[in-house]
Amino acid sequence: MITVPYFDYRKMKDFYTIEEISRLFGMTRFELTETCKQYCVALEYNSFCELRLSKEAVRGLHYQLYHETHRNRSNSRRRVHA
């Protein structure tokens, strides 16, 4: 399971390349593209034909991953009552 780091949304750039996001989230490029497909986050190309994400897309993906990891943690901590 990945650990989603804290992002200060106010200090984010307008666009991030796939490599930058991969480093931030601690994923491989392939895992990141699959995760984007899973959450319907649109990848786009810049003028240099590099895949990138807009600030809004990164925020949306971060929000989804953050809540998924915290939901999984809270479910694993619950006790089973007999």
**DSSP for residue 43:** P
Considering only CA atoms, which of 53, 55, 28 is closest in space to residue 43? Answer: 53
Measured from the Cβ of residue 61, the count of other Cβ atoms closer than 10 Å reads 21
The ranges assigned to domains in the chain are: 13-77
Q: Is 8 exposed, middle or buried (0-12, 13-18, 19+ CB in 10 A)?
A: exposed
pLDDT at 75: 61
CATH tag for 13-77 (out of 3.40.50.620, 3.40.50.150, 1.10.1660.10, 1.20.1250.20): 1.10.1660.10
pLDDT at 28: 92
pLDDT at 81: 57
13-71: pLDDT as tens digits: 999 999 999 998 889 999 999 999 999 998 899 888 888 999 999 999 999 988 887 77
Looking at per-residue pLDDT, the higher value among 76 and 25 belongs to: 25
